[in-house]
Structures are given as structure tokens and as C-alpha cells.
Structure 1
Amino acid sequence: MGVVIRGVILDESVLLAPQRDDDLHANGSLQPGAESLLRKLRHSKFRTGITYGVGLSDHKVSLLKMMTATYSFDSFILNSSSIDDAKHEIMLAWGDIGGILYLVSSEKKEVFPKLSNCGWLIVALRLLGQESADVIEDRSACEDSSIFYINQIEELPLTVCHLNRKAIGSSVVTVGYIMKPSREDDFAKRGAFPMYPTQNGLMFFPLMLELPLSPQLQEVDIVLHKATDEIISIDLSSSTNFSNRIAYTRGMQELQRYMEHHPDCCVIDPFNNIYPVVDRLKIQEILLQLEDLNTEGRCTIRGPHFLKVDNFNELDLVQRLSEAKLSLPSIVKPQVACGVASAHNMAIVFRIEDFKDLSVPLPAVVQEYVDHSSTLYKFYVMGENVFHAVKKSTPNANMLMKLSESNGLKPLVFDSLKSLPTANDDKHCGCDNYSKATNHFIDLELVTDAANWLMRKLDLTIFGFDVVIQDDTGDHVIVDVNYLPSFKEVPDDIAIPAFWNAIKMKFESRKSN
């Protein structure tokens, strides 16, 4: 058992790009990958600091200080002649936190012995082009001084994870996560991805696509992904299984191949399980089975009436809409639910003739427009926990028609991720579980039953869905299902522990099976 790392110090030599002799600009710049590392360390739960020497130019010092201010890090002055003073200053700022990792360029190997005497673990970033023989010589010379070498700055999170796993042992469960930077930031800034173990024994680290994926995956117990953000294309016309219909980005393809060859690796959630969520038709067909939950004396929970359309100019479209129990206005959505740019291009259609030349991508799903007085209930399922929030939604059909009358009742076309049709005078509660406009309470027990049913049916660990209450009937209608939502409406102190517990329970369930 080694020392658990609780603090990370970054030497300026690994952050600042080297300046060429012919470079006339002395302002300095960051190394490639440096800012990404700083962003990840910001929410890692490690104490983090940046050190620099007294001889550094004012421009470079300003750049480093800007980074410490941006990411809420500490800064310290450290020269080879003042290491003891720097150690004392760090102790005053951080206290006796235990293990400290110091990342420094291998060009500063003359300070390694002094740094090791501080009791710090030294990680040396090799210079570009450094010969392997030199590295062997360096490693041999420092055999007794706890020095590790990495080739790229992106390797630091993996190195920290490896060292802490070794120090803590089997009591920690390591979660490797992979998602687009904006999604990662949304989760990380809420404290969801700490590199230091959580109270329930999870430790997170980012899987880096800049590095070979397989060695990183060998360090993790669970893989968490948001593959729906990494879809390039979906072939809905194919008769093959789902795995052959969806094309992912290169990194997600590599992860997919690894999972296929390592079925024992625990993943949240298996790729096959998320395929129904990307296909609105498939989800609608699954929601038809909600009728099994309905009992006399309770509200009805259901999916909306729907119809798949391959061509908006079909001669029998009116008849097909009637047979599907659809009336106008109806909302038209692409069958592809996520992952591609046009997945959220929708329209609300008021007249049958306006289906012609509609700009919504085909194939499409025509869906019942449910009057719900602008009140939407967003539900989040995280393992055994179900949370909800009340949000403003689109107005009732009569208000939409008034909104569209000025444009000759032409379809209302919109991107559901950017803006929804709204009407200022439409009534909306938006604050509790009772809609004054409809005199209906939401039946939380019923929707929780539906959430648990969906969890079993889809075999998903973390997902969300939207519910509206039909004004005239009180029907609870599930209008959308999505994978690994941000659950931003749930307070962090409630959502994040539930998020961690869902992951831990998934791992323990997989382990016991």
C-alpha cells in the first residue's frame, strides 16, 4: 500500500510551450493539452497548484497567474535553491494533506533529488524526441526516489488513477468516463467526476482519446459513456441489428470494439441497451406496453398516439392519421432522436395540406399533440432513485393556432434544443405538482411505477423521460425518453450522491452476477 495522492502541483515547465530562438513574441503560450488538463483538475477534488521560478518573464508569469485565477488553483514560487521555502509555503496553504504529486519536465532532472526529499511523488514529463536510452538512464539513476515518467501531459490523470488504485487497493471502484468536452464540463463542475475517492468508494478519471484506449480501460472497473453524443449517422432503413445501423466517432468505435472483446467489463450502459432511445419509433412502440400498468381507479399512463411517415405526400395520409387516432394539430419529429444535427428539427402542423414539403427529416414520426397547459414534468431515473422537476413547456393547441394565424397557419418549425413555441398569456404553474389550469395532480406513485418499468424494459441505469398531463382526461403521457441526461434541475447535493450510488449499485450487481 502506497501513499494516496491528495494534491497535484504542476511545474511551469510542463505548462508553458518552449519558446524558439527565432520567436519574436515573448508572451508565451500553453503546451498542447495543458488547458484540457487544467480543466479536468479543476473539479478533481485534489488541491492543485502551479509553481514557477523567479527568473520567468513577466508575460509568462501573467499567463500562469491567469490560469490559477481561472481554475481556482494556488500558485507558488519554486526554484532549485528555494525548494524548502516552497514546501513550507505549500504546507501553510494546504496543511498536512498527505500525498502530493509534482509534475515536472524531465529537463529539470537536476532538481529531482531535492524534490524527492520533500516526500513528494515526482512525475517527469519526457521531452519531445528524448531517446529511450536517456530515459532508462534517468530511471536507473532515480531507482530509489519514486519517480515516474510519462510521454504526454494527457497521461497524468491515468497515472494518478493508477497510483491511487495501487495505494488504496480493492476498496475503491474506478470509473472511466468518456463524453464530449461540453458534456464532461456540465457533470464535472457539479462535482460528479472527482479523481479522489467519493464517500461510497468511487474514483473517476477521464478516458483520453489522444491516448491508446485499451491500456486506460485496463485500469477501470466501470465505463461510463454518453455514446448518443458521438453518433455520426444512423441507417434506419437497414434490416440488420442495431449495432450495424449506427456509426460512431472513432473513439466511440474503439470503445465499442473493446467492449465486444471484453464482455466482463462493466459498462453504463451497454450499447445495445441505448439503441431504442435513439429511435423515436422504437420508443413509441415500447410505450404502448405501458397499458399493462393501468388499473381502475387510477390515472392512465401512456405514450402519445403516433404514426411513422416515410413520405409526407402519401395519398392515404389522412386515412392513416385517423386510424392512428391522430388529429390536427400534430407534432412531427424525425425518427432519429439524437446524435445527428437534424434530430431535433420539429414542426407543429395545423392543416393536412401543410405536410407537403415539410422540412422535418424523413422518416418521421407524427405524434399526438397533447394539451397540457404548458406544464412539463421532467423525470430522472438514477438506479433506485427517481427525481422530478416542473418546467414550462409549449402552450395548448388553441394558443399555438393564435401564434400561427399571423403566418397563415403555416407549420411552426423549431429546434427543440434551442427554442420552443411559446405564448405569453398561456397559463402555467411551473412550481409544484398541481396544475391549476387543469385541476390535475401528477400521480407520482404511478409515474414512479412507470419509471421502474422502463428501467427494467430498457435495462438502463441512468435515463430521463418527460411527462405531460392531458387537460381534459388527466392522462399522464410520456412524450420523450433520453439517455444519461444532465439532471440539472435536481440540486447537486441530492443528484450527485444518487448518481454515484446508481453507478456503485450497477457495479455490485454485475459483480454478484
Structure 2
Amino acid sequence: MEQSTGKHKVVGYWFNEQKCQKFGVQDLEATCRRRGIQLVKIDMNSPLDDQGPFDLVLHKVTVLYAQALNNNGKAANAINMFENYIKKHPETFVMDPLPGVHKLLLRNQTYELLHQRFRYDEKIFTPTYAELSSRNVKENAEIVKQASVTFPVVCKPVTGGGGVEAHEMAVVFNEMGLSEFRLPCVAQSFINHGAVLYKLFVLGPVWFVIVRPSLKNFYAGEQETVYFNSSNVSKADSQSPLTQLDPGDMEDELPKADPAVFNRIVTNLREALNMDLLGIDVVIDSNTGKYGIIDVNAFPSYDSVPNLMEHLVDLLVMRMDHPAPESIKQTPENKKIPTFTTCDHPQEDSGVDTG
């Protein structure tokens, strides 16, 4: 390949095939071409040195990390090759840097990071959580008690961003139910939030808020465990009974969202992770009005974000010209955030695909 020069830039990218289709890589290629950028798909089965050099590498390798954690040899080999290439070529900007991506691979790590970053913020929190690895009811009851986890709880796979399985969750209403979910898992206090989820989509200094349906209010009791796929539940057109508030809860007035608090969340997490491409799931506690961060994802879907490819290519150009992170600015897009948008949310990537 021709050596990258000042006349044009070369961006290498890797998503698995499902991500390529859902993200619209052809649109990204066309937008890059108009901006004088050559977009090259990376083959994780071949040496990267033979495919570069790259001015920037754009990736969604969390799915490979998740597969490698599950002892998938092909995925582990691809990750090793990818990491070695990055170490060998520090001149290549990586979007996003792997240390931040690593912190988002396991939900318990993510929640600990959130707790530390927002522990002194009176408006922002992450719900209490505990890690469970045993089916012993008494042992689990003691673990959640010590961690101040309250029922109902949401049980989630420990690994985040690893495909469809990462979205398979359950609402558990009592101690007996804790032994029913797939282990290991993270058990997190469920926060009643009026069935409204705020998804913050971050593209460097620009970010957007998308409003989605979410789980209705739940209360501790003897109900059977409720299993759900978080991606399906939070589709804009979701008709799930799980997102329909019960009559008594409909009477409650929901707290109004404050863009300034969202901005604080985005700014803090970009600083903590040194990342540009983030999806942050936030709920507003119906009782306290506080903002609970319930998940953070690397390189999310960006469904419904207007002019997505233009914003992304602006970011690519900025990073290739000025690699050092900048503070978030109040762009015209940010000033428009109170006008929320609703949209569909397809499932994330799944399957082994290193091509």
C-alpha cells in the first residue's frame, strides 16, 4: 500500500460483518472519500504490517475480547496480533485506545470505575452491585446484603459488549431468584425510573441524547424472575408489556432531564477512559431525581444520531491532525440536546468473525 502522505490519510477499520452491515460502512467509505481519506478494512487473519501503514485505526474489537475471554483461540490470536501491531506503531492513533476499552469489558470493572468517578457527585450515581458466582442461596443473600444491593435486582452477564448474550438479563425479586441466572453475573439494584431510558451517544466533543422505552417500575416480592433482552426492550417501537407502566405508576410525574447533568457525565467518562466513541445508558430515579448510570459501551450503534457519518469523519480528521484529547465544547449540536429523539436500537454484534 502507498505510504500515507500529507495529501491523503489512511484509516484502517475493523468491525465484524454484522457491525459493518448495521453501521453502514458504505456510507462511511463515501464520506471518507469526499474528505480525501482512504478507508481500508483490516483483515484480522493476516499480518497488519502488510496492510498498513495507517494514520488511524477505527475498531470495535470488544466482541473479539469477549470471545477470547470465553477461550476462543481464533479471537485470542486476532487480539494478540492487533495489540502487538498497536505497540509497534505508536504513531498510529487508535480509536479508541485499548486501556479504556479494557475497562469496559467487564461490568464489575465498569461499575467500580463509575462509583469512583461520581462518588462525590450529589446528582449522579451508579446503582449498588455485587458479583455472584455461586448458586448457594444463603451465600448470595449475604453477598448482596454486604454490598447494600436491594431487591429487586437486575442480573447481567459479567462480560459487556460481547454480542447478543451481553444483553440477556433478568429482574430478580427475592433471594431465591439469585441462584437462577447464568453465572457468573453482576447483580445490580434495580432503580424505578418510569420506563424511560436515556442513551447518551458520544462522538468526541459532540454528543446526543436519545430517549428509549425501558423496564417499568418493579417492587420486591415473591414474583417469578423476569427474563429479558435489554436491546429488544429498549427499541423505540417496543410493545413489550415489560415497558408498560402499571396504572398506579402512571400517576407519578417523571423528573425532567437536565442536559447539564448529562454533559457532566459525558465529560467525566471521556476523561476517565480517554475515549471518543461511547454509549452511556442513564435512568433518572423516580423517587430521588438522581441520575443512575447503568451501563457504558464502547463504539455503540449510534441509531438515530443525525448526520452520523459527517460527525464521525470530522472526529477522525480532528484526531489525525490533533491526537491529544481536548475538552468537550458546547457545539451547536450540544445546545440542541433538550430536543430528544426516539429511534430503533438493533442488537449488537454476535458470532466469531475476524475477516
How far apart, in 2, do the equivalents of 1:291 and 1:271 lie? Answer: 23
Match of 1:327, SS state, is coil
Residue in 2 that maps onto 1:382? 203
2:343 equivalent in structure 1: none
Equivalent residue, structure 2, for 1:188: 24
Cα–Cα, structure 1 residues 480 and 426, in superposed 2: closer, same or farther, change >3 Å?
Answer: same
The equivalent of 1:488 in structure 2 is 303
Q: Distance in 1 between matches of 2:102 and 2:73?
A: 9
Amino acid at match of 1:322: K
**1:26-45 matches, cutoff 5 A:** none
TM-superposed CA distance for 1:327, in Å, is: 1.9
1-side partners of 2:12 and 2:50: how far apart? Answer: 12
- 1:308 aligns with 131
Give the corresponding residue for 2:283. Answer: 468
Deviation at 1:397, TM superposition (A): 0.3
Three-state SS of the structure 2 residue aligned to 1:229 is: helix
- Which residue of the partner structure matches residue 254 of structure 1? 81
Q: Which secondary structure does the structure 2 equivalent of 1:194 belong to?
A: helix
Amino acid at match of 2:227: V
TM-score (norm 2): 0.79
Match of 1:171 in 2: 7
Q: For residues 322 and 269 of structure 1, do their structure 2 counterparts lie closer, same or farther at Cα, with a shift above 3 Å needed?
A: same
The residue number in structure 2 matching 1:500 is 313
User: Does structure 2 conserve the Cα–Cα contact (< 8 Å) formed by 1:301 and 1:447?
Assistant: no
- Residues 441 and 382 of structure 1: CA distance in aligned 2, closer, same or farther (over 3 Å): same
Task: State the SS of the aligned residue for 2:30.
Answer: coil
- Matches for 1:232-381 after TM superposition, within 5 Å: 232-234=67-69, 248-291=75-118, 294=121, 300-313=123-136, 315-339=138-162, 342-356=165-179, 358-362=180-184, 364-381=185-202
The answer (yes or no) to whether the contact 2:155–2:170 under 8 Å persists in 1 is yes
Mapped pair 1:214 → 2:49: yes
- Contact kept in structure 1, 2:213 and 2:233, CA below 8 Å: no
Counterpart AA for 2:51? Q
**Bigger Cα displacement from structure 2, 206-215 vs 447-456:** 206-215
Residue in structure 1 matched with residue 333 of structure 2 by the alignment: none
TM-score normalized by structure 1? Answer: 0.56
Secondary structure, in 3 states, of the residue corresponding to 2:323?
A: helix
Q: Say if 1:290 and 1:450, in contact at 8 Å, map to a contact too.
A: no
Other structure's SS at 2:227 match:
strand
List runs of 5+ in structure 1 lacking aligned partners. Answer: 1-157, 237-244, 402-407, 429-434
Change (3 A) 1:453 1:293: farther
User: What code does the residue aligned with 1:226 have?
Assistant: K
One-letter code aligned to 2:57: V
Return closer, same or farther for 1:436/1:208 CA change in 2, 3 Å cut-off: farther
Q: Which one has a bigger Cα radius of gyration? A: 1
Match of 1:393 in 2: 214
Aligned with residue 270 of structure 2, among 455, 469, 472: 455
What is the CA distance between 1:388 and its match in structure 2?
Answer: 1.0
Q: Per-residue displacement from partner, 1:383-409 (whole Å, max 9, x unpaired)?
A: 1111110000111105x97xxxxxx72
Choose from 205, 209, 228 the match for 2:40: 205
Given that 2:55 and 2:91 are in contact with CA atoms closer than 8 Å, whether structure 1 keeps it comes out as no
Partner SS state of residue 51, structure 2: helix
Misfit runs of 4+, over 6 Å: none
Distance 1:172 1:334 in 2: 43
**Residues 258-281 of structure 1, C-alpha deviations (whole Å, 9 max, x = no match):** 112222222112222201111100
Give the superposition deviation at 1:509.
2.9
Q: Is 1:234–1:247's contact at 8 Å kept on the other side of the alignment?
A: no
Q: Is the 1:266–1:510 contact (alpha carbons within 8 Å) kept by the matching residues of 2?
A: yes
Partner of 1:143: none
Amino acid at match of 1:395: K
Secondary structure of the residue that 1:248 maps to in structure 2?
A: helix
Give % identity. 22
Question: Which letter maps to 2:7?
Answer: S
Separation in 2, partners of 1:260, 1:212: 14
Count of residues in Structure 1 that have an aligned counterpart in Structure 2: 318
Compute the displacement of 1:338 (Å): 2.7
**Deviation of 1:210 (Å):** 6.1
User: Where do 1:148-163 residues align within 5 Å?
Assistant: 162=2
1:186 is displaced (CA, Å) by 2.2
What SS does the aligned partner of 1:315 have? helix
Native 8 Å contact 1:344 1:417 kept in 2:
yes
Contact 2:204-2:315 within 8 A present in 1 as well? yes
Preserved contact between residue 438 and residue 472 of structure 1 (Cα < 8 Å): no
Alignment match, 2:62? 228
| Pairwise CA distance, 1:247 | 8.0
Closer, same or farther: CA 196–284 of 1 in aligned 2, 3 Å: closer
CA contact (8 A) 1:175 1:223 kept: yes
Instruction: Answer yes or no: is the 8 Å Cα contact 1:293–1:450 preserved in 2.
Output: no
Work out whether residues 331 and 349 of structure 1, in 8 Å CA contact, stay in contact via their aligned partners in 2: yes
Q: 1:303 to 1:279 in 2, by over 3 A?
A: same
Q: Distance in 2 between matches of 1:458 and 1:302?
A: 17
Unaligned runs of 5+ in 2: 235-239, 327-355
